[in-house]
Amino acid sequence: MSSMTRILGGDVQVHHLRRDEQMIEPSLLAKHGRTARTLVKAGAFRLTLMALGPHGDLPMHKADGPVSIQVLAGDVEFTVLGQPYQLAIGELIVLAAGVEHAARSIGGCTLLLTVVHTDTDGPSPVE
Q: Is residue 71 part of a domain?
A: yes
Report mean pLDDT in 10-residue bins for the chain, 127 residues: 57 64 73 84 90 93 94 95 95 95 95 85 47
Q: Is residue 27 part of a domain?
A: no
Q: Is residue 91 part of a domain?
A: yes
Would you state the pLDDT for residue 1?
Answer: 42
**What's the domain range around 67?**
35-116
Q: Is residue 10 part of a domain?
A: no
Q: Is residue 3 part of a domain?
A: no
Would you state the pLDDT for residue 17?
Answer: 65
- Tell which residue, 98, 67, 68, 64, has the closest CA to residue 81: 98
How many domains, in total, are found in the chain?
Answer: 1
Would you state the pLDDT for residue 28?
Answer: 77
Would you state the pLDDT for residue 29?
Answer: 78
Would you state the pLDDT for residue 4?
Answer: 47
The upper half-sphere exposure of residue 42, i.e. CA atoms within 13 Å in the direction of its Cβ, equals 11
Q: Is residue 97 part of a domain?
A: yes
Would you state the pLDDT for residue 11?
Answer: 73
Would you state the pLDDT for residue 38?
Answer: 85
The enclosing domain of 99 has a CATH number of 2.60.120.10
